[in-house]
Amino acid sequence: MQHIGIKEVATKAKVSVGTVDRVIHNRGRVSESTREKVLRVCEDLNYHPNVLAQRLAADKPVVFVTITPGFSSDNTYWKIPLEGIQKAAREMTGYKVKVENLFFNLADPVSFRKAALDAILLEPDGILLAPVFKREAREFIRKCKERKILFVFLDTIIENIEPLSSFYQDPFESGYLAGRLLSFHLRRKSEILVVNFTLDIENNIHLGNRDKGLRQFFSDNNFRGKIEELNINPADELLLTKKLEDILHHKTRGIFVTSSAHKVAKSLEKTGKSGLMVVGYDLTPDNVRYLKKGVIDVLLCQKPAAQGYGGMMALFNHFVRKIPVRKEQIMPVDIIVKENYRDYRDF
Amino acid sequence: MQHIGIKEVATKAKVSVGTVDRVIHNRGRVSESTREKVLRVCEDLNYHPNVLAQRLAADKPVVFVTITPGFSSDNTYWKIPLEGIQKAAREMTGYKVKVENLFFNLADPVSFRKAALDAILLEPDGILLAPVFKREAREFIRKCKERKILFVFLDTIIENIEPLSSFYQDPFESGYLAGRLLSFHLRRKSEILVVNFTLDIENNIHLGNRDKGLRQFFSDNNFRGKIEELNINPADELLLTKKLEDILHHKTRGIFVTSSAHKVAKSLEKTGKSGLMVVGYDLTPDNVRYLKKGVIDVLLCQKPAAQGYGGMMALFNHFVRKIPVRKEQIMPVDIIVKENYRDYRDF
DNA sequence: AAAAGATGCGTGTACGTACACGCAATATAC
DNA sequence: GTATATTGCGTGTACGTACACGCATCTTTT
């Protein structure tokens, strides 16, 4: 006997499978006495429903909806999480699961509201959500709660709201970590430069917290040197080179870019760099090029595909496999240098 | 119609489900003409068998065997991969999969041969194997091939043998990476110390290659300083402290321990350390303690639980879910410092 | 006290696949 | 020519669960 099922429970409790089924699903028409008897036998035999058979016999599919920022040629970041989402979706074929991907525009809160409405019309069981616009997301989650729709947060979280699970990275922690890494290279009176590309709408909060994390590290470790700051529009490449030339001098030993560092790297390459440790974010092709050249020293990453995959799997595990799901999955800050970037390509 | 199944194929091909089944499984008793017709319809309808129903209807379970080193109170390393293996096994409940864990003694090749024989007696479909003893493993794999048993390598690989998949880390690469990390902290004429705990039988090859990797880095980056080496029995704690005191001097800026670094850290703590960057391996409680204290600066890790989990899942994906499996999964060298170790605890 | 309703329970069919069995039709044997 | 194999195919049951239906029994209504 491979697996004890309803049948075995029914036999031992001296009732029919139908009765056991009614007990398990709480759909009435069972006397209290037999109800208790059946439940006791379930305990005794350690009965667990067979998920395969459940999904096979189910008449309605489980429906999941994802709501993430769309991507374009100039902002490809959200392509990667989607790939993880789709990988997970492929693994759900045969389980009677329907996955619908909705997108919104990072520059337009209204597009988010629209996607949110569409999502609810699909009457999903669970939603995977990148709550970029806090206010709109709060509103949406209120509606979900009314309708008993569960949700998982992706990339960011919202304070005081408890989702089924959330997959994200703590930007403050990653900035703090960047401080640690830079500190290996600093001397007594070295200076550091922090570069913020301020027009990066999506990541505004992220960028700020990364910056704060770095500063906290140096304040915690009584660093004596100076931390310069440069806030700039990423489109102004010429300006960037000029400003960097102005601001860098012989005491500067480290640069921390709170987002993608390839533009800084490009400028540095012109200027000529020596004894400068450059730390930035994200394993994009542009960044990798400068990592390989040795202009960028460290990239901090968060496995965006794994986040998308994990978020979908959290829904799957909860609704289909019915196993407990971690409330929170803080993605490790992966430290990537020239020598190990290859290993992370597939994440 | 949720999923096109055998029935739809049968209808369209104007045969019975039994015939379709016989065609799909190549168990004869079908005329060539109907055979071709059925296969064409399968193509046309893009038929893919429903894995859930397959497993539900299967009479014999799929059998997997794992063969890994055992663990004891003094060598707990292999406990972690096993946890990953067991997590994967739990996820297979309901799929009619039988998993048997066999162990051998790292100090005794004969115990490996015994486990290997036991494994074959279980007539498994697939085997997850830590091929620590190369010669014995080769012999065993020969037998597996005769019996058409597939295998997945865990932790190490064997040259010129192609398993279904392998999950491991490249020790040379990790040593090379250690060189990069240390280099951030070195000055022109700094010295480095490499510490090898030579009696670590299990990892002998690993340790050697880590050492080689480090040296290769410094040779590739024309490092001018000196690399000292200390080979020592990990049991000789007193001797370790003494030797360290002898060998360390003001020019020493880095220590690379090719395995667990906590014993070195303990000695350093007595001696008093300053301006010394310590890099070691593995996220064990002992190591973490010194990482938190700041005596160890970096731990290089390889997510051993994820390796065990991934290895089992490779078997599962191949035999049960019947989806393609990556031939090789080189685990990233995770760089762990005081600030991000928390995030890796669950891997 | 008979009719109507509610309660407690069993039966049957479906989900998509595997596999044993059985029955024709054809092929081979004697 | 009949008897026996062989080939080609369909049917039936099982896997474990979900859910509709139906039939007794018991309770309430008038």
Architecture of the domain made up of B6-49: Orthogonal Bundle (1.10)
Residue B121: CB partners within 8 Å, gap ≥ 6? Answer: none
pLDDT of residue A203: 54
Does the C-beta of A225 come within 7 A of strand D? no
CATH entry 3.40.50.2300 includes domain B62-168+304-331:
yes
Q: Which of A212, A339, A347 to mutate to test the interface with B (most CBs of B within 10 A)?
A: A339
* Tokens matching residue B227: 């690399």
CA of A34 to C1' of D28 (A): 24
Beta bridge partners of B230: B195
**Interchain contact, A343 vs B330, CB within 8 Å:** yes
pLDDT of residue A189: 83
What 8-state DSSP symbol labels residue A61? P
Residue count of chain A, please give it: 347
> A28 or B183: which carries more pLDDT confidence?
B183
pLDDT of residue B158: 93
Residue B280: CB partners within 8 Å, gap ≥ 6? Answer: B256, B257, B259, B260, B261, B262, B264, B265, B287, B296, B298, B299, B300
Number of C-beta neighbours around residue A300 at 10 A: 26
**Interchain contact, B55 vs A52, CB within 8 Å:** yes
Query: Average pLDDT for residues B64-80, to the nearest whole number?
Result: 88
- What is the rounded distance in angstroms from the CA atom of residue B330 to the CA atom of residue B165? 10
Scan residues 14-73 of chain B and list those with Cβ within 7 Å of strand D.
14-19, 22, 28-35, 53, 56-57
Residues on chain B touching A176 (C-beta within 8 angstroms):
339
Q: pLDDT digit string (tens) for B245-276?
A: 888 888 899 999 998 899 999 999 887 767 89
Contact B295, B272 (CB under 8 A): no
Does the C-beta of A54 come within 7 A of strand D? yes
Contact A55, A322 (CB under 8 A): no
Q: At what angle do helices B17-24 and B6-13 cross, to 10 degrees?
A: 110
- The number of angstroms, rounded, from the C-alpha of B202 to the middle of its chain's C-alpha atoms is 14
Query: Average pLDDT for residues B36-60, to the nearest whole number?
Result: 94
Name the residue with tokens 């010429």. Answer: A238
Q: Is A54 exposed, middle or buried (0-12, 13-18, 19+ CB in 10 A)?
A: middle
Q: How far is CA B136 from CA A273, B128, B141, B204, in A?
A: 53, 15, 9, 17
pLDDT of residue B104: 96
pLDDT of residue B274: 74
> B36 or B271: which carries more pLDDT confidence?
B36
Q: How far is CA A331 from CA A182, A304, A311, B300, in A?
A: 21, 9, 12, 17
* Tokens matching residue B117: 């024989």
Contact B323, A166 (CB under 8 A): no
Strand D bases within 7 angstroms of protein beta carbons? 7-12, 14-22
Does the C-beta of A322 come within 7 A of strand D? no
- What is the rounded distance in angstroms from the CA atom of residue B270 to the CA atom of residue B47? 69
- Strand C CB shell (< 7 Å): A 14-19, 22, 28-35, 53, 56-57; B 1-3, 5-7, 17-18, 21, 24-25, 29, 47-50, 53-54, 56-60
In degrees rounded to 5, what are phi and psi of residue A287?
-65, -40
- What is the rounded distance in angstroms from the CA atom of residue A147 to the CA atom of residue A8? 36
**Interchain contact, B180 vs A339, CB within 8 Å:** yes
Helix (H) or strand (E) run with residue A40 in it: helix A32-45
- What is the rounded distance in angstroms from the CA atom of residue A3 to the CA atom of residue A9? 11
**Interchain contact, A181 vs B176, CB within 8 Å:** no
Architecture of the domain made up of A171-301: 3-Layer(aba) Sandwich (3.40)
* Tokens matching residue A196: 């913020």
CA of B19 to C1' of C28 (A): 25
> Angle at Cα A36 formed by Cα A33 and Cα A38, nearest 5°?
110
Is there a shared CATH topology between the B62-168+304-331 domain and the B171-301 domain? yes
- What is the rounded distance in angstroms from the CA atom of residue B263 to the CA atom of residue A39? 54
Number of C-beta neighbours around residue B280 at 10 A: 26
**Interchain contact, B52 vs A55, CB within 8 Å:** yes
Q: Is B243 an 8 Å CB contact of chain A?
A: no
Contact A122, A100 (CB under 8 A): yes
Residues on chain A touching B51 (C-beta within 8 angstroms):
94
Residue A27: CB partners within 8 Å, gap ≥ 6? Answer: none
B52 to chain A nearest CA, in Å?
5
Q: What sign for the dihedral angle of Cα A85, A87, A91, A94?
A: positive
Q: Which amino acid is at B60?
A: K
Residue B142: CB partners within 8 Å, gap ≥ 6? Answer: none
Nucleotide nearest to B25 (CA to C1'): C18
Residues on chain A touching B181 (C-beta within 8 angstroms):
184, 337
* Tokens matching residue B56: 């539900």
Q: pLDDT digit string (tens) for A202-255?
A: 557 788 899 999 999 999 988 888 899 998 887 787 888 899 988 888 889 999
Q: Give which of A87, A86, A69 is closest to A78, Cα–Cα.
A: A69
Does the C-beta of B332 come within 7 A of strand D? no
B233 to chain A nearest CA, in Å?
30
DSSP string, B188-216: TT-EEEEEEETT-GGGHHHHHHHHHHHHH
> Angle at Cα A230 formed by Cα A227 and Cα A233, nearest 5°?
160
The answer to whether residue B203 scores a pLDDT higher than 60 is no
In degrees rounded to 5, what are phi and psi of residue A339?
-85, -15
- What is the rounded distance in angstroms from the CA atom of residue A44 to the CA atom of residue A23? 15
Residues on chain B touching A217 (C-beta within 8 angstroms):
339
Q: At what angle do helices A285-293 and A262-271 cross, to 10 degrees?
A: 30
Helix (H) or strand (E) run with residue B65 in it: strand B62-69
Residues of chain A with pLDDT under 70: 1-2, 199-203, 273, 347
Q: Give which of A319, A285, A347, A258 is closest to A61, Cα–Cα.
A: A319
- What is the rounded distance in angstroms from the CA atom of residue B71 to the CA atom of residue A250? 53
Of the partner residues B56, B93, B180, the one whose CB lies closest to the CB of residue A338: B180
pLDDT of residue B238: 84
* Tokens matching residue B91: 């996820």
Domain residue ranges in chain B: 6-49, 62-168+304-331, 171-301
